[in-house]
Structure 1
Amino acid sequence: MKPCNLTTGAVCALMLISLATAAQMPTDTLPKAVRPGQPDTTFPVQRVKDTIVPKEAADAGDTAIIMKGSSDLGGVVITSRKPLVQVKAGRTIVNVENSVMAEGSNALEILERSPGVNVDKDGNISLKGKPGVTVMLNGKLTYLSERELSQLLKGTPSGNIARIEIMTAPSAKYDAAGNSGIINIVMKKQNKAGLNGSVNGNYGVTRKSRAGGGASLNYRAGKINVYGSYDYWNRGEIEYLDFERKFYENNIPDRVSVQQTATDEPLSTHTFKAGIDYTLNEKNTIGLLMNGSAGTYSNISRTDNLLSRYHGGILTHTVSESENHERWGNYNYNLNFLHRFDTKGHELSADLDYSGNTFRSNQFLHTLFLGHNGLTSQRKGRIPSNTDVYVFKTDYARPLGEKAKLEAGLKGSFVNSDNNLAYDTLQANGHWVKDLSATNHFRYKEVISAAYLNFRKEFTGFTLQAGLRGEHTFTEGRQITIDSLVKRNYFQLFPSLSLEKPLDDNNKLQLAYSRRVSRPGYEELNPFRVFRDPYLYFEGNPFLQPELTHTVELSHDYKSMLVTTLNYSSTSDVMNWMTGQVDSINTTYERPVNLRRFTSYGISLSATLEPLPWWAFNGFVNVFHNAYKDEGLDNSITAWTIYLQNTIKLPADFSAELNGYYESASNYGSAVSRPYHTISLGIQKLLLNKKATVKLAFSDIFRTKNYNQRINSNGVDMKMLIRPDSRVLNLSVTYRFGKHFESRERSSGSEDLRGRVRSGG
């Protein structure tokens, strides 16, 4: 970087005055070389990329620029703090590491507190009221089933998350999966020079206690960057579920089932990461990363089910005790390479990934029929699942002058999943016999080959971005038990287009269109049955088709402070878990089906403001209309959500955060949910020269986050109330340590390259 000459303009003078103010140094104490008004004096200014945080290890999430010059001045640091929420047209960034409420939570709970994101009772994620979200970790697809992804997110400590990127209009560079958009969870990584690290611990109280802790370490010097981390978390949770179901005889209500369930759901996880980046030369960097998670989860429940005549008279009264013990391991290996050409922004990257996933579930269900001379029913199940994922990806970017850029890439992925479900029932003679109606061995293969081309150019008065992605999909689902095979083989094009038009210095418009897809997961395709109790089970559907969505968004951006967005989307063959029942045996089931059409349109407003120097405010309001249509189904509703977040700076390095969320009545498939709201509060204190952070967070203070749902369609009349363990008081402590040194040389190409390497993290 060239030195600033103080006689060439006021910009450098203002920069230096700001430096003096930030360092709290009177002007007359500054070295002569940096006093304003001195003619013909130069002051070499350099951003040291190897040092991203203040020399005294400032609070996480701060960014520091170290100015170097006269030895009398030493190192002067300007510290700026990223806002918690950054909003742009088509993209929202939540800087999780800056949140007082983040510590002691998991990734799924952090998503629940993100603008525009909703997580339902089963861990399914929707964005701006629309289902079909693709979740990525560090820019990579997980290739997990919904249940496995939910467990992975529950077992990912929030303290490991740097930020969440929410994209409603991604370009062709990203996978076409995800009808309503992409959520990319970016984990923390270190870029500081020297030896640095942190240790953390947290303890929370709910209906049961939860605790966790971990450590991270990073060493960076010369051409090598080595890093690693480990975290352990033990989460206690008790949940209550109430169901009321009506059964019919000749289309007339004849019986009613009232069910009450209490579950104990302990979760224990280990997450870890280790990697190395090596700068071969100024143009080439190679990296190796290994990360993963392993854990156990149990669902131990007791269910009381009373089946009566609709107009009175008990038919059966059962008490069921159910145990489901799960354990999993998720291990990922990544080899990455980055080559930078002579022109800035001209680069070629490549990634090779392998992911091995194991999942084991052992179930036991014991039911006692009261009043039937001790009659009992017992069932046990074993669900082993193994999934291997291989991915190769390469991306090429080339600037075309100063105002245009061309991107292109190739990607191939191969998924192989093996699930062998076995159920046994206990006979009256005391022998266990295989239940052929529920036992099934299912193997699933998926191969996706993709290529994309994306072009962006600034014209006079507007900016155009156009892209096209082509994906060929081959799937094969084989039910070995009944010798059934279902294949899919198809090629699809996914265009994307965006136009950005500045109106003046403060206002701009953006119009975006994209076509996207959601493919069924192997768990949805597997027709095996999973029983919650003798009268309720879940099963997959091997004939599910992928759903396709066309989305249009029109956004107005005012100073990146107020973003207003109109959106419309139409989805064909929408996949939806529908509830059905077999009246003759008083049984209810859920299975995924393709509905004919899902239409959604709405308007959202995002605000990022600082009304006062000590008060930062983020608000998000979304009003939307969702309509599900199919034969015998027409479920439409206009709903709205509001998210409010306030960050308050207090004296003596204290800060506080107050969050509120409200969701009106909403719909999903044939179900309609009642409104609910939550209020959360947190306070933070910096200690030990800002090297330590203590946070106290109180989530869902009034325990108002209850899922109250009603289904009344296609002969099903069911009410459901779920009261999760959402009120949590959590105390967390983080301590950062390390030696931060400055390079004596100016930023070189190799240093810039090391800072840009995609080291997983």
Structure 2
Amino acid sequence: MKFIPYILTALFLSGILLHPNSASAQQQVFGKITGKLVDAQQNPVEFATVALHYATDSLIVKGSISDTSGHFIFEKVREGRYYLHASFLGYKAFRSNSFAIDKSNTEIILGNVLLLPEDKTLETVTILAQKPLVEQYLDRTVINIANSILAEGNTALELLEKAPGVTVDDEGNISMKGRPGVSVMLNGKLTYLSQRELTTLLRGTSSGSVSKIELITNPSAKYDAAGNSGIINIVLKKNEKVGINGSVYGNLARSRANRYGGGTSLNYRNGKFNLYGSYDHAFRGEREYLNFTRRFYDGGTTQEPNRISYQNSATSEPLYTNNYKVGADFFINEKNTFGVLVNGNFGKYINDNNTSNLLVSSAGEILSQPQTHNDNLDRWNSNTYNINYTRQFGSKGQELSVDLDYSGNENRSRQSMDTRYLNTEKPYLETRSVRRGNVPSLTNVYVGKLDYVHPFGIKTKLETGWKSSYVSVDNNLKYDTLRNDQWIPDPSWSNHFAYKETIHAGYINFSREFGSLSIQAGLRGENTRTSGHQVTTDSLVKRNYFQLFPSLFLTKTFGIAHSTGFSYSRRVERPDYDDMNPFRFFRDPFLYYEGNPFLRPELTHSVEISHTYKGKFITTINYSYTSDVMNWMMGQVDSLNTTYQSPQNLKSMINYGISFTASVQPTSWWTSNSFANFFRNEYKGDQKGGNLNNGIWSFSVNTQNSFQLGRGFAAELSGFYNSRSVYGVFVNRGYYIISAGVQQQILDKRGTIKLMVNDIFQTRQRRNTARYENLDMDGHIRFDSRVATFSFTYRFGKDITPVRKRSSGNEDIQNRVKGGS
């Protein structure tokens, strides 16, 4: 299997060399288009929207904004026929005549482009150059969802479920194209939260504040090597207007419980500095129902089960979340910019769980019937501080940037488990087991990052940089047991775990264009030192290792309609911090979770080959091989009627498949974007004496359709289907989701009201089975996913202007800071 990436590389390069149009494609022509926007008095029109369209089908090729002198430029435009579209508040939209770029005409000079005033300014605002829903780049796919009706009122986690090829399980674990192990970034930086805490944050983040989602299945060497199935970067909206500008929004929703949210953003910019800030608050009521059936055997699974456990749980999970951001950019001069940024989140999450566990014999006799009440209250406070500096040099595009970050994360959980046992013999007697826990988790993260970009002309670029990070985690769990109405410390449940991690990384990335062929190659080196100290038992596990992570990207165009791409990368997925904590966490007396301090990092080789037709139809073939794959394996102790789950290193996981993306416009008022993915996951390895070999072909498809109904009305209809799939020893049944919504623009198009219903038929239910060795289990989870939402948004401000885009240097510790449970 390890030679497959090299075989696919050879096949791709052979295809390029043998392609019948290869010779002519090497002579592909590229041109430049320039112009200046002016008003009737020949004054420059600043910060206007300018878009370049194909003349044949009006598809947007590139978008830009005029500068302070009214000028705009489009470079490296491929041979073809185009037209220009420009618009600005208070002016009539402008459309040029079509023009061609070819061998005899590589530079189009449009000169002064006149924008005439509109008689009714606010009533004739036209939004032009709206980006398509799906954009394909050299190393990523971008989903632009800022204008999606169905994005409103959902959470960022639910929004991820709508992204092409992305699935989210009931624990909040995210997979991309069927592969688990995704690294998630917010605005290009780390949240410093555990998987559980990240899930809480994404559930509490309004998807109405999300601008776009970037799916990077094979990240370049510039990115951290963490995340064996790639990176998902959630980019939040940022105000980009001069003067004082901002927006306010609010929404009300109903599922099985009430929900609401609201927030505001404000921005002020002049010539020398830019100040910005935002605040959001949300409440999410949620009720879910879980059913598990487990069968226990005394003499092997070839006979009838001796005992059967029927577990039924009902949870109420109210979530209160607050997110804020405050920052400033200081434009010292044309070449030097200094910035500061503070953002954070705080809130509380309650999980009130009532569980019944009925244990019966093969003859139907009731053996036990414990009733358990779990009550968990999580409070968290996470703050990140960033200082950044950028230096522009004489050469266009030559830049040095420095980021320093500190993040402090505090999570405190109060847990209690109260179990009542009913004696099945007469007279009925009751016994009780009660425990409470104080589960603090304190995490500090320090990151320093330096990046340098040096272009050599317009076709060659060199990038290099260094990054160092230090993480410390302290988790001191203390449990008490109630005995004779007195709380007694319980050392058998208590646990103190401390973790430290240092990563030093350097990279070099080189890109070059050779006519119609573009190449990007990179190499990243990371040295990792970890120390996991089980203070309670004085057990210490240390690791120190250095690894190289190469990456390669190739794209080639054939005429104006076809392009092909190839990418390869080597990735690593390090164990989550609390996955290595051997502490046992009980959901009820017969089901517990346990960490593994001896987990090893998993390594992945990933290859993708793609073809794009007219920017609308994308076909991708992907293959990945992961060694030492980490998987939450489940097992049973039949004699104790107990089931447990623990992370283990399996031998390997293989993922391969083919996906299709189509962005079409059947009519002038209907736009459709669809994605389909056929893939196979294969898990292999030894699990406590067993020989796991579990694989299955799966299929998923989602489609999003937008309808412009006129007079400010718009509608949206989306559908999603996921077939049977496999994760470790589990096989998941298929399910589908259908959602719909409408919107109306009001208040001179500065306000928008939306009404939508997500999962109309409440079909998002997770059903799975596990049949492995003596494990025999069925599960059914009914999510609180049918949600009706009404929202209102109002925007105020003036002209659009480019604002310095900031992302701090802390995007590498992805989702690995763990809480107490």
Q: Secondary structure at the match of 1:516?
A: strand
1:610-625 to 2 correspondence within 5 Å?
610-625=665-680
Please say if 1:300 is aligned against 2:352. Answer: yes
Please say if 1:592 is aligned against 2:647. Answer: yes
Aligned to 2:742: 683
Aligned to 1:726: 785
Report the Cα distance in structure 1 between the residues aligned to 2:316 and 2:555, rounded to whole angstroms. 51
Q: Is the 8 A contact 2:189 2:807 kept in 1?
A: no
> Partner letter of residue 311 of structure 2?
Q
1:19-30 to 2 correspondence within 5 Å?
none
1:689-704 to 2 correspondence within 5 Å?
689-704=748-763
> Partner letter of residue 271 of structure 1?
N
Q: Is the 8 A contact 1:633 1:714 kept in 2?
A: no
Report the Cα distance in structure 1 between the residues aligned to 2:70 and 2:410, rounded to whole angstroms. 53
Report the Cα distance in structure 1 between the residues aligned to 2:34 and 2:598, rounded to whole angstroms. 64
Q: Deviations over 1:691-711 (max 9, x none)?
A: 001111100000000000101
Aligned to 1:196: 245
Q: Is the 8 A contact 1:56 1:689 kept in 2?
A: no
Please say if 1:580 is aligned against 2:614. Answer: no
Aligned to 1:93: 142
Aligned to 1:717: 776
C-alpha change, 1:374 and 1:128, in structure 2 (3 Å) is same
> Partner letter of residue 399 of structure 1?
P
C-alpha change, 1:757 and 1:123, in structure 2 (3 Å) is closer
Q: Return the offset for 1:53.
A: 9.2
Aligned to 2:105: none
1:482-501 to 2 correspondence within 5 Å?
482-501=537-556
Please say if 1:390 is aligned against 2:442. Answer: no
C-alpha change, 1:57 and 1:491, in structure 2 (3 Å) is farther
The match for 2:460 among 404, 409, 414 is: 404
Report the Cα distance in structure 2 between the residues aligned to 1:720 and 1:77, rounded to whole angstroms. 51
The match for 1:543 among 598, 603, 606 is: 598
Report the Cα distance in structure 1 between the residues aligned to 2:322 and 2:183, rounded to whole angstroms. 24
The match for 2:436 among 355, 377, 380 is: 380
List gaps (5 residues or longer) in structure 2.
Answer: 1-32, 39-47, 52-68, 75-85, 93-110, 811-821
Instruction: Indicate the percent of aligned positions where both proteins have the same amino acid.
Output: 52
Q: Secondary structure at the match of 1:98?
A: coil
TM-score computed with the length of structure 2 as normaliser: 0.83
The match for 2:89 among 32, 51, 55 is: 55
Report the Cα distance in structure 1 between the residues aligned to 2:805 and 2:364, rounded to whole angstroms. 70
1:184-583 to 2 correspondence within 5 Å?
184-252=233-301, 253-371=305-423, 372-427=428-483, 429-583=484-638
Q: Return the offset for 1:756.
A: 4.6
Aligned to 1:746: none
Report the Cα distance in structure 1 between the residues aligned to 2:236 and 2:112, rounded to whole angstroms. 31
Q: Is the 8 A contact 1:87 1:608 kept in 2?
A: no
> Partner letter of residue 710 of structure 1?
T
> Partner letter of residue 262 of structure 2?
G
Aligned to 2:78: none
Q: Decide which moves more: 632-641 or 135-144.
A: 135-144
Report the Cα distance in structure 2 between the residues aligned to 1:688 and 1:300, rounded to whole angstroms. 43
> Partner letter of residue 589 of structure 1?
Y
Please say if 1:603 is aligned against 2:662. Answer: no
Q: Deviations over 1:506-547 (max 9, x none)?
A: 111111111000000111111112111111111111100000
Q: Is the 8 A contact 1:217 1:228 kept in 2?
A: yes
Aligned to 1:27: none
Please say if 1:183 is aligned against 2:232. Answer: yes
Q: Secondary structure at the match of 2:183?
A: strand
Report the Cα distance in structure 1 between the residues aligned to 2:783 and 2:656, rounded to whole angstroms. 30
Report the Cα distance in structure 2 between the residues aligned to 1:104 and 1:265, rounded to whole angstroms. 18
Q: Return the offset for 1:83.
A: 2.1
> Partner letter of residue 211 of structure 2?
A
Aligned to 2:718: 659
C-alpha change, 1:199 and 1:107, in structure 2 (3 Å) is same
Aligned to 2:818: none
Report the Cα distance in structure 2 between the residues aligned to 1:680 and 1:261, rounded to whole angstroms. 27
Q: Return the offset for 1:500.
A: 1.2
Please say if 1:161 is aligned against 2:210. Answer: yes
C-alpha change, 1:646 and 1:5, in structure 2 (3 Å) is closer
Q: Secondary structure at the match of 1:196?
A: strand
Please say if 1:633 is aligned against 2:692. Answer: yes
Q: Is the 8 A contact 1:89 1:556 kept in 2?
A: no
Q: Deviations over 1:135-170 (max 9, x none)?
A: 011111333221121112112221221111111121
C-alpha change, 1:375 and 1:46, in structure 2 (3 Å) is same
Please say if 1:110 is aligned against 2:110. Answer: no
Report the Cα distance in structure 1 between the residues aligned to 2:373 and 2:666, rounded to whole angstroms. 55
Please say if 1:80 is aligned against 2:132. Answer: no
Aligned to 1:46: 71
C-alpha change, 1:694 and 1:57, in structure 2 (3 Å) is farther
Q: Return the offset for 1:80.
A: 2.1
Q: Is the 8 A contact 2:37 2:70 kept in 1?
A: no
C-alpha change, 1:734 and 1:89, in structure 2 (3 Å) is same
Q: Return the offset for 1:250.
A: 2.6
Task: State the Cα RMSD in Å.
Answer: 2.5
C-alpha change, 1:557 and 1:77, in structure 2 (3 Å) is same
> Partner letter of residue 71 of structure 2?
Q
Q: Return the offset for 1:71.
A: 9.5
Q: Secondary structure at the match of 1:225?
A: strand
Please say if 1:129 is aligned against 2:178. Answer: yes
> Partner letter of residue 46 of structure 1?
H
Q: Is the 8 A contact 1:307 1:314 kept in 2?
A: yes
Report the Cα distance in structure 1 between the residues aligned to 2:736 and 2:730, rounded to whole angstroms. 19
C-alpha change, 1:618 and 1:760, in structure 2 (3 Å) is farther
> Partner letter of residue 594 of structure 1?
N
List gaps (5 residues or longer) in structure 1.
Answer: 7-15, 20-43, 59-66, 743-750
Q: Return the offset for 1:394.
A: 1.0
> Partner letter of residue 359 of structure 1?
N
Report the Cα distance in structure 2 between the residues aligned to 1:677 and 1:315, rounded to whole angstroms. 38
Q: Is the 8 A contact 2:380 2:409 kept in 1?
A: yes
> Partner letter of residue 714 of structure 1?
E
